[in-house]
Chains A and B, each alone.
Chain A
């Protein structure tokens, strides 16, 4: 399956894309709806020509223990962003990731990859609350939240706009630097996944959908390209 024609074509298409995208492309990509458009076998997947090191950050894991960029080292990490008072998109992503990681385990035993869910709503998502939410989907998933200012720094570096809004009026009610006065708000956040290599470098992004078949194709294509790139 992984060595299918589709798989190889996907790698080839991404490889072509690699050559044309500079280091500054990351932010551009995050805000672009379909970087590979329809002609690519894997639209919505991008691998960087020059991986960028994740900047220093200080978040908290589900136990409230500090988690920094150094804790990303030594294994692959797939990261999603969201919040627990998100009824539709976030639980769908988490359920998709639970299925994908089940498959990674079933196919290859203990995976060299883990999954982290970063809250974009630290005002309501305490480490304990986030952890009990995320662990429902898988006990192995990392739940990261922290000081709003720290999260803001990280999202800003990633070029991910975010904000809190009134679901009825659509008006902004705050952001990570301006605590909302109400408890009833919705959060805009990045829809895609980031792929971080064992050297704590951002190497790729995957936009939805995250069904297992597409994730399989996307992730194996990313890993193959990375192997080619580092050797």
Chain B
């Protein structure tokens, strides 16, 4: 039975778990070859009974991954880095277009639609969660603004 569960978990590859933290629907917005930056999105769910803090993210495909937030104030777009993003017990953190996102810089080689990119999410309690994000093409129905 345990084996079956393990296989099922493996098949549901869009969900990653470490302890009581889970990541769902991780994806990367496809970008022009000329782009020097890309963005990754996902939902991080805190199923524990205590707050956790997302503190850093790494990927072997990018030299730098920054936790960023896009904000619009008075009609102006402003983007800034976040060092530690808290997720309350039972709550989730949505990284989504126009809001929090992972800014991906210094790509090691080209990253194209359909690629799978592994991220290591580091939390304040010492947990490290590995998750895989798929690069979505710009024409994908659920990509970009349509995801809002």
**B96-109 interface code vs A (CB 8 A; 1 in, 0 out):** 01100101100000
Chain A 183-207, CB within 8 Å of chain B: the 1/0 string? 0001011111000000000000001
Neighbour of A88 across the interface among B32, B70, B138, CB < 8 A: B70
Would you call B32 and A132 a contact (CB within 8 A)?
yes
- A189→B71 CA distance, assembly (Å): 11
Q: A87 with B103: in contact, given A92-B144, A95-B143, A207-B75 (CB under 8 Å)? A: yes
Task: Kindly supply a per-residue 1/0 record for chain B positions 31-64, scoring 1 wherever the CB is within 8 Å of any chain A CB and 0 otherwise.
Answer: 1111111110000000000000000000000000
Minimum CB distance partner of A96 in chain B: B145
Nearest CB in chain A to that of B66: its residue: A167
Say if the beta carbon of B146 comes within 8 Å of chain A: yes
B2 interfacial contact with A, CB 8 Å: no
- Mark contacts of A11-54 with chain B using CB atoms, 8 A cut-off: 1 yes-contact digit, 0 otherwise: 00000000000000000011111000000000000000000000
Residues from 67 to 123 in A contacting B, C-beta threshold 8 Å: 82, 84-89, 91-93, 95-96, 98-99
- Among residues of B, the one whose C-beta sits closest to the C-beta of A138 is B138
Say yes or no for A209: interface residue by CB 8 A criterion: yes
Residue from A84, A95, A165, A186 within 8 A of B144 (CB atoms): A95
Output the least CB separation between A119 and chain B (Å).
Answer: 12
Contacts of B74 in A (CB 8 A): 31-33
- Check A211 for interface membership: any CB of B closer than 8 A: yes
Check A219 for interface membership: any CB of B closer than 8 A.
Answer: no
Interface residues of A, dominant DSSP = loop
A192 surroundings in chain B (CB, below 8 A): 75
Q: B38 contacts A87, CB within 8 Å?
A: yes
In the complex, B3 has a CB within 8 A of chain A: no
**In the complex, which of the residues B29, B34, B77, B143 contacts A133, with contact meaning CB atoms closer than 8 Å?**
B34
Is A157 an interface residue when CB atoms closer than 8 A count as contact?
A: no
How many A-B residue pairs have C-beta atoms within 8 angstroms? Tell me. Answer: 121
Instruction: Let me know if A170 is at the binding interface, CB within 8 A.
Output: yes
Q: Which of B32, B35, B77, B80 contacts A89 (CB 8 A)?
A: B77
Whether A95 contacts B138 in the complex (CB less than 8 A), given A31-B74, A89-B79, A167-B80, comes out as yes
Separation of A78 and B34 alpha carbons in the complex (Å):
23
Assess whether A210 is in contact with B104, with CB atoms less than 8 Å apart: no
CA–CA, A119 and B138, complex, Å: 21
Asked if B36 and A161 make an inter-chain contact with CB atoms under 8 angstroms apart, the answer reads no
A98's nearest neighbour on chain B, judged by CB, is B138
User: With a CB–CB cut-off of 8 A, which chain B residues contact A129?
Assistant: 34
Q: How far is the CB of B27 from chain A (nearest CB, A)?
A: 13
Query: Is the CB–CB distance between A91 and B77 below 8 Å?
Result: no
Cross-chain contact A84 with B97 (CB below 8 angstroms): no
User: Would B29 and A91 count as touching, CB distance under 8 A?
Assistant: yes
In the complex where A95-B144, A165-B80 touch, is A31 in contact with B75 (Cβ < 8 A)?
yes
3 closest A-B pairs (Cβ-Cβ)? Answer: A136-B32, A95-B144, A87-B39
Question: Can you offer 25 A-B residue contacts whose CB atoms are under 8 A?
Answer: A30-B75, A31-B74, A31-B75, A33-B73, A33-B75, A84-B32, A87-B101, A88-B68, A88-B98, A88-B101, A89-B77, A91-B32, A92-B29, A95-B143, A98-B138, A133-B35, A161-B76, A167-B79, A167-B81, A188-B77, A191-B72, A191-B75, A207-B75, A209-B145, A211-B146
Q: Contacts A88-B98, A186-B79 known; list 5 others, CB within 8 Å.
A: A31-B74, A95-B29, A96-B144, A132-B33, A136-B138
